[in-house]
Structure 1
Amino acid sequence: MASTITRHDPADVREIAATYEQHTAADVTAACDRAAAGAEVWGRTPGPRRAAVLHSAATLIEQRADQIATDITREEGKLVSDARGETLRAAAVLRFHAGEAERTHGEAGDAGDPGTLAFTRRRPLGVVALITPWNFPIAIPAWKLAPALAAGNAVVLKPSSRAPGGALALVAALRDAGLPDGVVEVVIGGSAVGTALSDDARVAALSFTGSNAVGDAVRERVQARGARFQGELGGNNPLIVLGDADVAHAAKTAVGGAFGAAGQKCTATRRVIVERAAYEPLLAAMQREVAALRTGPGLDAASQVPPLVDRDAQKEILDAIAQAVSAGASAVTGGHAGDGELEHGCFVLPTVLAEVGPGMTVIDDEVFGPVCAVLPADGIDHAIELANATPYGLSASICTNDLRGAFRFVERIDAGMVHVNRPTPGADPHMPFGGVKGSAGSGYREQGRAALEFFSQSQTVYVQHDVP
């Protein structure tokens, strides 16, 4: 009998949200067999026909959005409004890449020899693998699947076993839209499944989103056999607040960036670095903003901060807070798990930490939850220095009314994505997404037209049309 994975509702762990079959390494081999056959069919399918499938799948997802969102919330915990927005985002990503599949990609021009035309074309890689996380269970699979399929590849997808339901809903829509058999296969399981997928010789490329520790191990295995690797790894994202900034706006920006989705975003604001003149006013304003937030179940329309994904995540966050407090930090808001009606869920109250410093987990590492550290800086140069004092470089933001300061920040910050007077989270389907330093698993970007670079290869063609 096949083993199973049981997921409990993060808002009340006494309730079972879903149960899934757990796959094995042998299942991965069988999935790659089917994908190899599917790649032969899909790779020869004209771009406009690929586009039609993606468009149809997007329509089905839009029609099913309410049910998909409810299922995601029961399994992963996020606000149902966020889950619905994420589901519609997945549909938008499919439509964007449907448009890319309809276009001709390449360049044409005269060759060096007379009577010869030279042009380039993009070709699929064949079978590609995707390993996706639990925090955006339908959007991240969509933004990997869509360009992979638009480019003509077959895909073996391994969603996180913490929340695979969104990925399964996405694949169901693609199949119902007419995607041929074998073009997308799904495997669910732990490290043995991931290792088998990384090692299969038919997998020409693997795209991964997750922690640095796991991502680095996957990259080594994939690149050791000469396959492509794309990684979107961790982040320890700073928001700089200069003394001239509007304090109320900066506080809303910080709190929204730190505690949206309970801080379970790779782009969430982890550190707020404030010029000393604005430090105390901003800290007070953040306290007021947090006091107005309601922590509660994702299916409750009044909730603003949902639970963490499971008890393990809850413990990890509480341990990080305790380590900071024992090292001298003070929790000016939150700092503990939910009580009363929340005690059966995986809740951590939104936590703002002051008096923080190096050596604390909340400063040095990515703490994937509703925790935000606030620290002072002596001017913009010091603030940028503190912001860059991390091995990560995913997203960064600044609040200021000084145009010169804003562009000084843009030029000097070590981040793949930069925001001015906006929170650190935020990305559009048509714009490249990715980081630098430890946040970047490779030089390949996700989303936008840039995503197609990873999932295809260029072929240069010379045609001599003036034959003597």
Structure 2
Amino acid sequence: MSIQKTISPIDGSVYVERELASDAAVETALAKAVAAQKEWKQTSLAERERFCRKAVEYFLNNADEIGLELTWQMGRPIRYTANEIRKGFKDRANYMISIAGTALADVQVAEMPGFKRFIRRDPLGVVFVVAPWNYPYLTSVNSVIPSIMAGNTVILKHAQQTPLCAERYAAAFEYAGLPEGVFQYLHLSHGQVANVIGDARVDYVAFTGSVEGGHAVQKAINERFIVGGLELGGKDPAYVRPDANLSDAIENLVDGSFFNSGQSCCGIERIYVHQDVYDKFVAGFVELTKTYTLGDPLKEDTTLGPMVRTAAATFAQKQIDEAVNSGAKALIDPDLFPANQPGTPYLAPQVLVGVDHSMDIMTEETFAPVVGIMPVKDDQEAVRLMNDSQYGLTASIWTSDVDAALAIGEQVETGTWFMNRCDYLDPELAWTGVKNSGRGCTLSKVGYEALTRPKSYHLKINS
């Protein structure tokens, strides 16, 4: 019997212990999923919607309790965690439910006398969702709800850090009365995950995680004719032009850099500022950063909680130290944040200047409350530096010139291009990345295409 333990970053205690699924349990889950899908695909969209909306109702009814669990599991301050359910989860789930009828409708082609022709979107079958800990409900809802709405069955494997999230989904669908086998979860080891991906009964893999994890998923499906949707890492840039509203840019970019302790795939990790406003921007950025409160995430006044684990904080501090040793300057005195403690997950926010692309802090994913800021002389230099990355999840520009934003956006290699906002997912838009930020798409009408396969109907009526 193998046990996985969730160590809370709050105090290092064991918050959750769960037994990993046995081989027999995995086999049962796969068999159930296949059998249930044959029935589920025959249900009407109206029936699917009823079950899914009822599940969303469960989450909203229990948002505070779920938020407390989430704080204990991964350390985000309690003042924010319930909002992952009340805002992002609710909005994404309800939107994807609401557009299913249009997204999954038959595709009509030109009329031809004596024939009936159309394209139908058939469900794939069994969807295996592998979800991360940093936004455990927001990342998983992107795949779980639309997969079920499309007529697939789902098996969810959540991160070891956030196993209760998978169990909450199960409770929600039980509350909704969803037929047995349509949704299931499994607590699995990495080896077991690879085995499930390689199983012939799995028809699609939706993975959110690291580039390393994405390679492992790709390797596991290489012998099969299926694909995986991969949302991987990011080193997302922002560019502040001289015509930007600086106070607005500072407020939003500080939040985009440090919310969730910087542990966001689309968080801001590097900022390029036009040299004409660079000094003023940096001064305002540092001033606002100093207003954060690092500490116990169970306290309502805490705005910056611990990182998910000590190793993550140590990794980020190593990047900071290496940059400083190479000539960068750290503008935040960690002593301003008494809770900052080396050797623990509690890491003070940091702002670095004097940085360049020879430093890992500007090229490798940090996933921490750390940001580097560089001056640039013009738009061309900003574009070159934004594109000088192995990643391409999101990028943002801060300007009052919409035409310039569109023209520059056409040159930037990214999945989402923002103007005057950042670190946000709009469920009406495709969520996708380029380069090592992954492949595939979730959310929007386009997101349903990955969860279905086209089936053409060519019926000759008159013989």
Q: TM-score, normalising length from structure 2?
A: 0.94
Partner of 1:193: 192
Closer, same or farther: CA 177–334 of 1 in aligned 2, 3 Å = farther
Contact 2:334 2:340 in 1 (8 A): no
Partner of 1:445: 441
Contact 2:339 2:346 in 1 (8 A): no
- Residue 300 (str. 1) matches residue 299 (str. 2): yes
For residue 272 of structure 1, give the secondary structure of its aligned residue in structure 2: strand
Contact 1:39 1:152 in 2 (8 A): yes
Closer, same or farther: CA 167–385 of 1 in aligned 2, 3 Å = same
CA distance in 2, matches of 1:145, 1:165: 16
Contact 1:432 1:447 in 2 (8 A): yes
Shift of 1:150: 0.6
Partner of 2:126: 127
Could you say what the CA RMSD is over the residues aligned between the two structures, in angstroms? 2.0
Partner of 1:107: 107
- Cα-to-partner distance string for 1:55-87 (whole Å, 9 max, x where unaligned): 111111111111111111111111223221111
CA distance in 2, matches of 1:41, 1:173: 20
Shift of 1:336: 8.3
Closer, same or farther: CA 121–427 of 1 in aligned 2, 3 Å = same
- Residue 179 (str. 1) matches residue 175 (str. 2): no
Closer, same or farther: CA 408–25 of 1 in aligned 2, 3 Å = farther
> Which residue of 454, 461, 465 maps to 2:457?
461
Partner of 1:322: 321
Closer, same or farther: CA 340–66 of 1 in aligned 2, 3 Å = closer
- Residue 50 (str. 1) matches residue 48 (str. 2): yes
For residue 271 of structure 1, give the secondary structure of its aligned residue in structure 2: strand
Q: Which amino acid aligns with 1:450?
A: V
CA distance in 1, matches of 2:455, 2:305: 48
CA distance in 1, matches of 2:128, 2:242: 47
Alignment of 1:324-363 (within 5 A): 324-334=323-333, 339-340=338-339, 346-363=345-362
CA distance in 1, matches of 2:215, 2:44: 36
- Cα-to-partner distance string for 1:99-119 (whole Å, 9 max, x where unaligned): 23445512224454x221211
CA distance in 1, matches of 2:107, 2:248: 46
Runs of at least 4 residues off by over 3 Å: 24-27, 100-104, 109-112, 334-345
Alignment of 1:264-275 (within 5 A): 264-275=263-274
CA distance in 1, matches of 2:25, 2:312: 29
Closer, same or farther: CA 42–169 of 1 in aligned 2, 3 Å = same
For residue 374 of structure 1, give the secondary structure of its aligned residue in structure 2: strand
- Cα-to-partner distance string for 1:20-53 (whole Å, 9 max, x where unaligned): 2223555433321221122122122222111110
Contact 1:101 1:151 in 2 (8 A): yes
Q: Which amino acid aligns with 1:106?
A: D
Contact 2:340 2:348 in 1 (8 A): no
CA distance in 1, matches of 2:366, 2:340: 25
- Residue 140 (str. 1) matches residue 139 (str. 2): yes
Q: Which amino acid aligns with 2:450?
A: F
Question: Quick check: 212-221 or 125-134, which moved more?
Answer: 212-221
Partner of 1:68: 66
For residue 61 of structure 1, give the secondary structure of its aligned residue in structure 2: helix
Partner of 2:212: 213
CA distance in 1, matches of 2:335, 2:193: 34
- Residue 391 (str. 1) matches residue 390 (str. 2): yes
CA distance in 1, matches of 2:32, 2:429: 33
Q: Which amino acid aligns with 1:434?
A: T
Contact 1:145 1:155 in 2 (8 A): yes
CA distance in 2, matches of 1:41, 1:268: 41
Shift of 1:407: 2.3
CA distance in 1, matches of 2:173, 2:383: 45
CA distance in 2, matches of 1:49, 1:336: 57
Shift of 1:154: 1.0
CA distance in 1, matches of 2:319, 2:343: 21
Shift of 1:209: 0.6
Shift of 1:91: 3.1
Contact 2:271 2:373 in 1 (8 A): yes
Q: Which amino acid aligns with 2:107?
A: E
For residue 197 of structure 1, give the secondary structure of its aligned residue in structure 2: helix
Shift of 1:189: 2.8
Partner of 1:80: 78
Partner of 2:16: 18
CA distance in 2, matches of 1:33, 1:378: 60
Closer, same or farther: CA 337–26 of 1 in aligned 2, 3 Å = farther
- Cα-to-partner distance string for 1:266-322 (whole Å, 9 max, x where unaligned): 000000101112111111111101111111222211111111111222222122212
Percent of matched pairs sharing the same residue: 27
For residue 203 of structure 1, give the secondary structure of its aligned residue in structure 2: coil
Closer, same or farther: CA 43–336 of 1 in aligned 2, 3 Å = farther
Shift of 1:149: 0.4
Question: Quick check: 260-269 or 297-306, which moved more?
Answer: 297-306
Contact 1:50 1:101 in 2 (8 A): no
Contact 1:138 1:170 in 2 (8 A): no
Contact 2:340 2:346 in 1 (8 A): no
Q: Which amino acid aligns with 2:44?
A: P
CA distance in 2, matches of 1:264, 1:106: 40
Shift of 1:337: 11
Question: Quick check: 92-101 or 451-460, which moved more?
Answer: 92-101
For residue 181 of structure 2, give the secondary structure of its aligned residue in structure 1: coil
Closer, same or farther: CA 190–250 of 1 in aligned 2, 3 Å = same
- Cα-to-partner distance string for 1:332-361 (whole Å, 9 max, x where unaligned): 115689645867951111111111122322
